Amino acid sequence: MTSFVKPFIRRKNEPTNALGLVRADYDGAMSTLCAGCGHDAVTATMARAFFELSIEPHKAVKVSGIGCSSKTTAYFLRDSHGINTVHGRMPSVATGAIAANHELAYIGVSGDGDSLSIGLGQFVHAMRRNVNMLYVLENNGVYGLTKGQFSAAADIGSTAKKGAVNELPPIDPVSLALSVGATFVARGFSGDRDQLLPLIKAGLKHKGFGLIDVISPCVSFNDHKGSTKSYAHTYKYYNPAIHADYVPPSEQIKADYAAGEVMPVKLHDGGEIRLRKLENGYDPRDRAAAIGKLFESGQSQEIITGLLYINENDKDMHEMARMEDRPLNQIPYDELNPGAAKLKELQKGFR
């Protein structure tokens, strides 16, 4: 519990980012999750992404719901504001927070129970609104904190630790996201940091709702034989199909690539996402293709990962609401007060 205080050690010659901060500056409290939990790897990767992007910790905001995954917002970015909301309702709190100030970097952390059962409605509606945030869904197919019930992400035929077989079809967050308007849709695996790290960086830089469905096995309740969300099963069917690198505006000139191997996608901040490992002309800007690809891979049990879809053209919530650039929480009151004389004038119609 919180009695463990994570030691803060500064090493000599430790690499620093553009802000002069070291990787440990992006840590948080000690994790209280089980040893070997996929979530801890994701937490470390998220912390690294913020570090590598040189985001000032206090300009980042962490939001989460309830569950093992939601706890992890306390385990990184100790110098950021974080809010652990109620079960399944993180998207609405994030939506309100982002409406109040769109200038911060928002990361939401949730799980398959939090997002796909109790919170399915809010999850879908945040994507519809194209709220500008990165939503990391740590997906293990099981309720961990209540000790092993199936979640809505459990595959047909997957077994529980005590042997029960799931017969209900799973809700796939990726296909859902593609159908309701998310503009950055990816799948990752907690066991593949090389792929996940650039995905998180790209997702944070994308303007609009970014979803990364991260297969993140539960070592205590869903890592057994018969589970389709175990480490073993995931490694077996894993296909890292589309690799995405985020290249900041400052580094664009240096990198070069042969046409055909890499597909660049321009971002609003002037940076670029470079997609690699694309098979036979697959274009992640094509939503129909992404849906087709997903369906195809599902047929063969393959777990397709990487950036499956990206759309930099749709308006995000802030733009759709036609809000001015200055965040709402920074507009001084004298610009909001219509004044006594105006009130008199407005009431002429009430006579």
Partner 1 sequence: MSKARINDFTIKVGNVNGTGSASANALLMKIIFRMGVPVVGKNIFPSNIQGLPTWYEIRVTEKGYRGRSGDIDIMIAMNPDSYKRDLEELSPGGILLYDDTWPRPHFLTRTDITVIGVPLARMCNTAFKVARSRILMKNVAYVGAVAALLDLDLNIIHTLLREMFAAKPKLVDLNLQAVALGYDYVKEHFPGMNDFKVEARNLTEGKVMIDGNTAAGLGCVYGGATFGAWYPITPSTSLMDAFVKYCKELRIHPETGKHKYCIIQAEDELAAAGMIIGAAWNGARCFTPTSGPGISLMSEFIGFAYYTEIPMVLFDIQRTGPSTGMPTRTQQCDILLCATASHGDTMHILLFPADPGECFEMAVNALDLAERFQTPVFVLSDIDIGMNDWMADELTWDDSYIPDRGKVLSSEDLKSVDKFHRYLDVDGDHIPYRTIPGTDPKGAYFTRGSGHNKFGGYTEDGAEYKEVVDRLKAKWKSAAEKLPVPIVKRAKKPTKTAILSLGSCDGAVIEARDKLGADGVYLNYMRVRGFPFAQAVEDFIAEHDQVFVIEQNRDAQLLGLLLSETNAPREKLIPLLHYSGEPLDYKFVRGALSEALNLRKTA
Q: For residue 314, give the 3-state DSSP assignment.
A: coil
Taking CB under 8 A as the rule, does residue 80 contact partner 1? yes
The whole-angstrom separation of Cα 106 and Cα 316 is 14
Tell me the C-alpha distance between 226 and 240, whole Å.
23
What is the nearest approach in angstroms of partner 1 to the Cβ of residue 2?
5
CB of 167 to partner 1, least distance (A): 29
Number of Cβ atoms within 10 Å of the Cβ of 302: 14
| Alpha-carbon span 248 to 183, nearest angstrom | 19
Part in contact with partner 1 (CB under 8 A); list of ranges 33-41, 161-169, 184-192, 329-337: 329-337
| Residue 8, burial from CB neighbour count under 10 angstroms (0-12, 13-18, 19+) | exposed
94 binds partner 1 (CB under 8 A): yes
The binder of partner 1 chosen from 17, 34, 125, 161 (CB under 8 A): 125
Q: Which of 44, 47, 49, 74 binds partner 1 (CB under 8 A)?
A: 74
Q: Binding to partner 1 by residue 42, rule CB under 8 A?
A: no
Q: How far is the CB of 33 from partner 1 (least distance, A)?
A: 14
If the CB atoms of residues 182 and 273 are measured against partner 1, the closer one turns out to be 182
Does 162 help bind partner 1 (rule: CB under 8 A)? no
Verify binding: residue 5, partner 1, rule CB under 8 A: no
Q: How far is the CB of 73 from partner 1 (least distance, A)?
A: 8
Candidate residues 40, 79, 286, 314; the one interacting with partner 1 per rule CB under 8 A: 79
Q: Which of 16, 36, 54, 59 binds partner 1 (CB under 8 A)?
A: 59
Number of residues binding to partner 1, judged by CB under 8 A: 59
- CA 131 to each of CA 99, 108, 188, 328: distance values in angstroms, whole numbers, following the listed order: 9, 11, 21, 16
If binding is defined by CB under 8 A, does position 120 make contact with partner 1?
Answer: no
Nearest Cα neighbor of 53 from 80, 74, 26, 78 is: 26
Q: Are 178 and 309 in contact (CB under 8 A)?
A: yes
Residue 10 interacts with partner 1 (CB under 8 A): yes or no: no
Q: Which residue among 13, 299, 313, 347 contacts partner 1 (CB under 8 A)?
A: 347
Q: Is 325 in the site for partner 1 (CB under 8 A)?
A: yes
Does residue 128 contact residue 164 with C-beta atoms inside 8 Å? no
Which residues lie below 8 Å from residue 166, measured CB to CB, with a gap of 6+? 150, 154, 155, 156, 157, 158, 159, 160
Q: Which residues pair with 239 in a beta bridge?
A: 304
The token pair that represents 173 in the structure block: 């967050």
Shortest distance, position 147 Cβ to partner 1, whole Å? 18
Interface residue with partner 1, options 39, 48, 129, 293 (CB under 8 A): 129
Closest approach of Cβ 87 to partner 1, in Å?
8
- Identify any residues that bridge with 189 across adjacent strands, giving them in sequence order: 215
Contact criterion met (CB below 8 Å) for 59 and 91? no
Write out the two tokens for 141. 């197919």
Specify whether the CB–CB gap between 99 and 130 falls below 8 A: no
Q: Which of 10, 225, 254, 351 binds partner 1 (CB under 8 A)?
A: 351
Q: Of the candidates 97, 176, 204, 242, which one interacts with partner 1 according to CB under 8 A? A: 97
Q: Give CA–CA dist 30/24, Å, rounded.
A: 12
Q: Are 267 and 205 in contact (CB under 8 A)?
A: yes
Q: Using the rule CB under 8 A, is 328 a contact of partner 1?
A: yes
Q: Which amino acid is at 229?
A: K
Query: Which of the stretches 152-160, 246-254, 296-304, 315-323 binds partner 1 when contact is defined by CB under 8 A?
Result: 315-323
Q: Which residues bind partner 1 (CB under 8 A)?
A: 1-2, 56-59, 61, 63, 73-74, 78-86, 89, 91-101, 103-104, 121-122, 125, 129, 321-325, 328-329, 331, 333, 335-340, 342-344, 346-347, 350-351
